[in-house]
Amino acid sequence: MSTNIMPGASTPVPTLDVLVRQRRFPENTGLRFLGTGVSLFPEGAFRAETVRIVEGCVCLYQPLADGRRQILDVLGPGRLMGPVLADLGRCDVMTLTRTCLKAIDPAREALCITEALQQSLRRSQAHALLLGRKTVTERIATALLDLAWQFSHGSPVRGGVTFSLYLTRADLADWLGLTLATVSRCLSALKRHGLIAYDHPKVVTILNREALEALALGAPAPADGGVPT
Amino acid sequence: MSTNIMPGASTPVPTLDVLVRQRRFPENTGLRFLGTGVSLFPEGAFRAETVRIVEGCVCLYQPLADGRRQILDVLGPGRLMGPVLADLGRCDVMTLTRTCLKAIDPAREALCITEALQQSLRRSQAHALLLGRKTVTERIATALLDLAWQFSHGSPVRGGVTFSLYLTRADLADWLGLTLATVSRCLSALKRHGLIAYDHPKVVTILNREALEALALGAPAPADGGVPT
DNA sequence: CGCATTTTTGATTCTTATCAAGACGAGTGG
DNA sequence: CCACTCGTCTTGATAAGAATCAAAAATGCG
């Protein structure tokens, strides 16, 4: 237990990660296991496949010719990805941690796919609002709440939801239309004000959900000079 | 013809506008006619309806509590709008010009709706890339090409596609994540460099499509000091 | 224990927002 | 037909916010 990847977290999240690592799943269930930083649909292969994320985290992103990229969505367990859910000709999908997938039958699960399509559209439209009109603080607050909701599997303990942040600061920047430095500064500020906590940069605890939600919706951000601490 | 809304345009675009104004359509075709600046789904009514835009232009937008708003999409003839295509609880749809709609039967046109859903998702994701990572010039160039494609009904005459810009500068700003002033400045710059032309601010001609496409994809914008003129 | 990657933080620059004034165009009524 | 008004557009001056550049601290890995 002391070798867990999350030393600072008081709640040892019971993920399937260990199982995935040890390949303890039977081989005939259609599951696929991927490491970190791996393309889901490598080099034209699997491009026609639709998969369900069983465990882990992936991001859908679109690169621009000169190196810029925009992460369009971050997907956790239960979400679907496939040619219908994104333009895989222009986009790519990458794991952000060890991830377990299961291919699904589009014909048999047509309804699920349509629902996923609607969910993706809603999320994309909400994200457009974020990218076009929200301030740095609003973006970070929105993102933290979204990730907490998707990745704090287990009980939403009141007073402190802890989750594993699979994205690097650079990933967050590419998702939220910011830069690495700005993301880091904003997270530091939220931590300084006591809205969130983290010792390890990848394990975040939400301390004041209400305040974060208010920020995400556009409440004035706390001025930095106000609270000394 | 002299009372046409586009005095400066040399090509009198043969729209259905006049027909719409004069209500010359039969009343039993299920068509609805709306003026400018009208909500498609007013006050909870029609919210369950799905419509096809026959003629005109509408925008889907999401307002924020403090007055900010993000236009999520601009839709022209042929496109669909309805509860499946947007979260109408949080969003609103408004006409940007005289518009003619036709309600459709979701059950009978399920396939069309699914296609529209996919198209909307693609557009929303492309827009997220624009909002998150594109420069001002890239955004404007992308928007002009998109609008030209959607609204230059008739022949894509080479050397100069003219289209009616139904959006105001403020609308463009709310669509592209900018401000009115920045949009106006950028359009002026593109005009000054000869990529586009307009006498009336609402009737734009694309003079150099290739250059605009290059800009939209991220080519370096022409420095303002270079060409005197 | 050292090396590579990531994160934090500071100093500076640059882009774009903000503020503001004037020009233009459309619609109204005399 | 013309003055009047309102809304939109253009353009300039200034300021704020975030990017960029850069260096040091922390973390992970072999």
Digit-coded pLDDT (tens) for B151-204: 987 666 666 899 999 999 999 999 999 999 999 999 999 999 999 999 999 999
B169-176 and A110-133 helices cross at what angle (nearest 10)?
120
Whole-number Å distance between alpha carbons of B76 and A121? 19
Structure tokens at B41: 């789904």
Q: Higher pLDDT residue, B43 or B149?
A: B149
Whole-number Å distance between alpha carbons of A132 and B175? 8
**Between the CA of A5 and the C1' of D29, what is the distance in angstroms?**
14
Q: Do B132 and A129 touch (CB under 8 A)?
A: no
**CA distances (Å), A30 to each of A52, A103, A105, B59, B75, in order?**
11, 6, 11, 43, 41
pLDDT score at B20? 44
pLDDT score at A85? 98
List, chain by chain, residues whose CB lies under 7 Å from nucleic acid strand C.
Answer: A 168-170, 180-181, 184-185, 187-188, 198, 201-202; B 7, 135-136, 177-179, 181-182, 199-200
3-state secondary structure of B163: strand
Q: Do A124 and B129 touch (CB under 8 A)?
A: no
How many Å lie between the alpha carbon of B3 and the closest alpha carbon of chain A? 38
Question: Does residue A214 have a pLDDT over 70?
Answer: yes
Nearest nucleotide by C1' position to the B200 CA atom: C25
A100 half-sphere exposure, CB direction, 13 A CA radius = 20
pLDDT score at B44? 78
Beta strands in B57-138 (DSSP E): 58-63, 69-75, 80-81, 92-95, 99-104
Whole-number Å distance between alpha carbons of B139 and A132? 12
| Pairing outcome for strands B58-63 and B69-75 | antiparallel
Q: What is the mean pLDDT of chain B?
A: 86
* Cβ-contact A123, A74 below 8 angstroms: no
Whole-number Å distance between alpha carbons of A204 and A55? 19
pLDDT score at B81? 98
Q: What average pLDDT does this structure show over B123-135? A: 98
B201 touches strand D (CB under 7 A): yes
Q: Which residues contact A83 (CB under 8 A, 6 or more apart)?
A: A47, A48, A49, A50
User: H-helix or E-strand containing A119?
Assistant: helix A110-133
pLDDT score at B155? 60
CA torsion, points A127, A133, A134, A139, in degrees to nearest 10? 30
**Between the CA of A182 and the C1' of D17, what is the distance in angstroms?**
11
Here the contacts of B40-47 (C-beta below 8 Å, separation 24 or greater) are: B40/B81, B40/B93, B40/B94, B40/B95, B40/B101, B41/B88, B41/B92, B41/B93, B47/B83, B47/B88
User: H-helix or E-strand containing A111?
Assistant: helix A110-133
pLDDT score at A152? 87
Question: Does residue A149 have a pLDDT over 50?
Answer: yes
Q: Do B133 and A217 touch (CB under 8 A)?
A: no
- Reported as a single tens digit per residue, the pLDDT across B70-94 is 999 999 999 999 999 999 999 999 9
Q: What average pLDDT does this structure show over B133-150? A: 97
Q: Do B129 and A87 touch (CB under 8 A)?
A: no
Q: Check the CA dihedral B155-B160-B161-B166 and report its sign.
A: negative
* Cβ-contact A56, A20 below 8 angstroms: yes
Q: Do B121 and A122 touch (CB under 8 A)?
A: no
Question: Does residue B9 have a pLDDT over 50?
Answer: no
Strand partners of residue B81: B51
- Reported as a single tens digit per residue, the pLDDT across A8-56 is 333 333 344 444 444 444 455 689 999 999 999 988 788 899 999 999 9
Strand D positions within 7 A of protein Cβ atoms: 8-13, 17-22, 27-28
Whole-number Å distance between alpha carbons of B29 and B39? 21
Q: What average pLDDT does this structure show over A206-214? A: 96
Structure tokens at A24: 């303890």
- Reported as a single tens digit per residue, the pLDDT across A91-109 is 999 999 999 999 999 999 9
B118 contacts in A (CB within 8 Å)?
A: 84, 117
